[in-house]
Structure 1
Amino acid sequence: MTAVVGDVESPGSEYLTEERLAIQAMAREFAAKEVLPVANELDPIKGDIPMELRRKMADLGFFGVLIPEEYGGLGLGVFEYAVIVEELARAWMSVSSLIARGQQFTAGFTEEQRRKYLPRMATGEFLSAFALSEPDAGSDVAALSTRASRDADGWRISGQKMWCTFADGADYLQVFARTAPLNREHRSRGISCFIMPKPRGELPEGVTGTPVRKIGYHGWRTWELSFDNAYAASDALVGPEGEGFKVAMGDLETARVHTAARAIGVARGALEDSISYVQQRVQFGRPIGDNQAIRFKIAHMATEVEAARSLMYRVCAAVDAGKSSPVEASMVKYFATEMAERVTSEALHIHGGAGYTTDFAVERHWRDAKLTKIFEGTSEIQLKIISDSILGRPAR
């Protein structure tokens, strides 16, 4: 797994301090030696990310990159987080997604919850599964209908959830449910967020599920869940009652940068695999990389990857400087994920018939790239956010 684009001097190079370059090199070596062989072995058979790999990630602090040092984390910024995510995604996107399960969507935690949970998250001992979407509430999060009602000593939750990745392997579910009836004027109000701890490898009592038959994003299962009077403790609320929508939306800036980094890593994997392939594949007596048509494809792919990375670096720097940039986060999420689908598709085409087999990792990059355009807000949601910021919201 040679690094091609990631090593060249680029418009983003001024952001890469010696410390960040050291972090990048460490993550790159880990991805090449520990993650890529596992991905090549397990993705074709839809095997789970091994616990041993998770322990190695924890030892390097990957689950606590964004967690402050006072709670046992590394106390680094979104920039360092994105650098690590890109390297992991270059090997296996599922692994680069796993590190978010210990450090995202915690902004609503009380100080007591932070002290209770963050140290365990930083060591990979308390990882989450996000139970937000529903069969009729995907992009329209405010339409969710799962209900939570007060019990004598806590809450009882009933309803359906979709697309809950890692529901079985996580240590807790982060569940969003209505604690007040739908208000047509203020549709996002009345949604609350709950922490539901559970045994690793199982679903909570009162929750049943069916794995989704997905085409990619292997290494862990994604679930459709049914909550039937499932219990959440009285202290399980994250954020004030009725303001769970703010919890869900409050960390989307980091989440969308995370997805951009995943997309860039996947695209870079497809690019680097293509570079290696065109130098080895011989047709008509010479490597196909000697053909101008192929050379121009590689040049165009490399330019697209670099452009997305440069935008991501700028957005990360702004976020870490305290300059909230939700619109630019949407821009980089949109640009990087659309780029990843184009680049991975071109890479598969460069591989010809071989690309349409499971013998080469390029088909994995292609499958996973498509998903980056869907989760954390579809490309259309990002375009709505961006256009509303430029033109204002249209009149109803």
Structure 2
Amino acid sequence: MNTTPTIDGKGYMTEERIMIRDAARDFTMNEVLPVANQLDGPDGEIPMELRRKMADMGYFGITIPEEYGGMGLGTFEYCLICEQLARGWMSVASLVARAQGGFIKNEMPEEMRRKYLPRVVRGEFLNASALSEPDTGSDLASISCRAELVGDEWVLNGNKYWCTFADGADYINVFARTAKPTHPKKRWEGISCFLIEKKRGEFPPGMVGQPIPKIGYFGWKTFELALNDLRVPRENLIGAPGQAFLIMAKGLETARAHTAARAIGLAQGALEDAIAYARERKQFGMPIAEYQAIRFKIATMATEVEAARQLLHYVCSAIDSGRRCDTEASMVKLFATEMAERVTSEALQIFGGAGYTKLFAVERHWRDARLTKIFEGTSEIQQRIIANNLLGKSVLEDMIASRAFESAAGARTEAA
């Protein structure tokens, strides 16, 4: 049963968007969900055949301009589709983000865009991103992986963590430090981005990967990477040297909206499954859907899902209009992901013991929903962003950043 509304008070859902959403839902229910129910697990992988079908649907080029073969649509449509895909399997909705040209698309020179973007649309040039490090998660301005220009090549050394799809990708975006920051409040300076082409299913010379054991987000592997004299052609530096952190920051609003869409999709799937189960499961002579405790749970769950969806529609419309909305993007990421954990947990409760088995998809939605509160910036980081934008940055935060910089600078001097 589809409980997704087709009309909202803001008029966001045009006839074209309803058609796009419904097509994505049909694709999810017929192609994605059956595969997810069969393959979700530590050793399962998103099938290549499903990837080909996604390419045929145009899902790898939703936001890529038509001149490169893409659909030329906006963040709204991108999130609309990804919400539906996540209703089936969050990993598939995440795979869509490995296309679109990535957040480096707008920084590529035209020659590179014409070379790569048509391949992205066909699903032949998908990416993985290596940003975090073993000791650097939310504080990405503190990365220590280094790149040095030697002749016509950059030589990279260091370690990266949480790089999902590193083995299956066709290229990896690696963030590495090429210069020291000039000021304690500008620790993001000196970080550069490199496009590293590789064979699908392999790592390039100078890079080795070790899978990280996870409790969810299956269908692909997440890696710790070791870079030892990894050589990259000089021209594969993306954007201006030392300015990659700003490139990444430009894409955060869309990335956080995308995570909110995935969280809403998970919650929608759990809600629909709980409704269906409550109607079928009988206790004390009647369906449990007749009991007020269950009815009130479902009413609250549905309300929270729809509230998150409406906030997401607002944020996506703001992004597509070109208006800065970093505060609202953090709000929807925070609200939708916290909501998703609550709703999927309540759905599992409605299933009772059956929900704690692999016989129903609700346990998968629950496990994956928990991750949405962590990646693309934890809930605590979103609260920090929102608070700073409303109240201004705290004096304590400035002091900590300054002292951390001075300590790190001293450590670098001693090491040198």
What amino acid sits opposite 1:31 in the alignment? T
Deviations 1:157-216 (A, max 9, x none): 110000000000000000000111354522110000000000001111111111010000
Q: Structure 2 counterpart of 1:255, which letter?
A: A
Q: Does 1:298 align with 2:302?
A: no
Amino acid of the structure 2 residue aligned with 1:71: Y
Q: What amino acid is aligned across from residue 233 of structure 1 in structure 2?
A: P
> 1:300 & 1:289 partners in 2: Cα distance?
14
Look up the equivalent residue of 1:217 and give its one-letter code: Y
- State how far apart, in whole Å, the 2-side matches of 1:62 and 1:194 are: 25
Is the CA contact (8 Å cut-off) linking 1:156 and 1:229 kept in structure 2? yes
Using the alignment, how far apart are the partners of 1:34 and 1:156 within structure 2?
43
2:353 aligns with 353
Letter of the 2:217 partner, please give it: Y
Aligned equivalents of 2:43, 2:350: Cα separation in 1: 25
Does structure 1 retain, via aligned residues, the 8 Å contact 2:41–2:219? Answer: no
Note if contact 2:6-2:13 (Cα within 8 Å) is conserved in structure 1: no
Q: Is this contact kept in 2: 1:10–1:306, CA < 8 A?
A: no
TM-score (norm 2): 0.93
Counterpart in 2 of 1:37?
Answer: 34
Distance, in Å, in 2 between the alignment partners of 1:314 and 1:149 is 43
Mapped to 1, the partners of 2:325 and 2:180 lie a distance apart of 32
The CA distance in 2 between the partners of 1:45 and 1:263, in whole Å, is 21
* Residues 42, 214 of structure 2: 8 Å contact kept: no
Give, in angstroms, the shift of residue 56 of structure 1: 0.5
- Structure-1 residue corresponding to 2:406: none
1:227 aligns with 2:224: no
- Displacement of 1:10 in angstroms is 3.6
1: distance between equivalents of 2:73 and 2:8?
23
Q: What residue number does 1:340 align with?
A: 340
Detail structure 1 runs of 4+ shifted over 4 Å in the superposition. Answer: none
Identity of aligned residues (%): 61
Instruction: Return the offset for 1:110.
Output: 2.1
What amino acid maps onto 1:173 in structure 2?
I
Task: Give the alignment of 1:156-235 within 5 angstroms.
Answer: 156-185=155-184, 186-235=186-235
Please give the alpha-carbon distance, in whole angstroms, between the structure 2 residues aligned to 1:249 and 1:371: 21
Moved more, 302-311 or 326-335: 326-335
Which of 288-297 and 43-52 deviates more? 43-52
The offset of 1:46, in angstroms, is: 3.5
Tell me what 1:64 maps to: 61
- Alignment deviations for residues 299-349 of structure 1 (CA, whole Å, 9 cap, x no partner): 000000000000000111111112121111111111100100100011111
Question: Contact (CA 8 Å) 1:146, 1:158: kept in 2 or not?
Answer: yes
- Secondary structure of 2:116's aligned partner: helix
Partner of 1:140: 139
How far apart in 2 are the matches of 1:331 and 1:46?
35
Which of 18, 39, 61 pairs up with 1:21? 18
Verify: 1:96 aligned to 2:93, yes or no: yes
* Aligned residue identity for 1:392: G
Q: Flag structure 2 segments of 5+ consecutive residues without an equivalent.
A: 399-416
Deviation at 1:112, TM superposition (A): 2.2
What is the TM-score of this pair, normalised by structure 1?
Answer: 0.97
The one-letter code of the counterpart of 1:89 is A
| Structure 1 residue 258 corresponds to structure 2 residue 258 | yes
The one-letter code matched in structure 1 to 2:26 is E
1:124 deviation in Å?
1.1
Residue 5 of structure 2 corresponds to residue 7 of structure 1: yes
Matching residue of 2:115: 116
Residue 51 of structure 1: aligned partner = 48
**Residue 44 of structure 1 contacts residue 358 of structure 1 at CA under 8 Å; is this kept in 2?**
no
In 2: Cα distance, 1:87 partner to 1:10 partner: 17
RMSD between superposed Cα atoms in Å: 1.1
Counterpart in the other structure of 2:130? 131
Q: Does the 8 Å CA contact 2:6/2:18 hold for their aligned counterparts? A: no
Contact in 1 for aligned 2:7/2:13 (Cα 8 Å): no
Partners of 1:359 and 1:89 in 2: how far apart? 19
Determine helix, strand or coil for the equivalent of 2:107.
Answer: coil
Q: How many residues align?
A: 393
Q: Paired residue for 2:411?
A: none
5+ residue gaps, structure 1, are none
Offset of 1:25 from its aligned partner? 1.0
Whole-angstrom CA distance in 2 between matches of 1:10 and 1:74: 25
SS state at 1:7 partner: coil
Is residue 238–residue 247 contact of structure 1 (8 Å, CA) maintained in 2?
no
Task: Give, as a single letter, the amino acid of the residue that structure 2 aligns with 1:105.
Answer: F
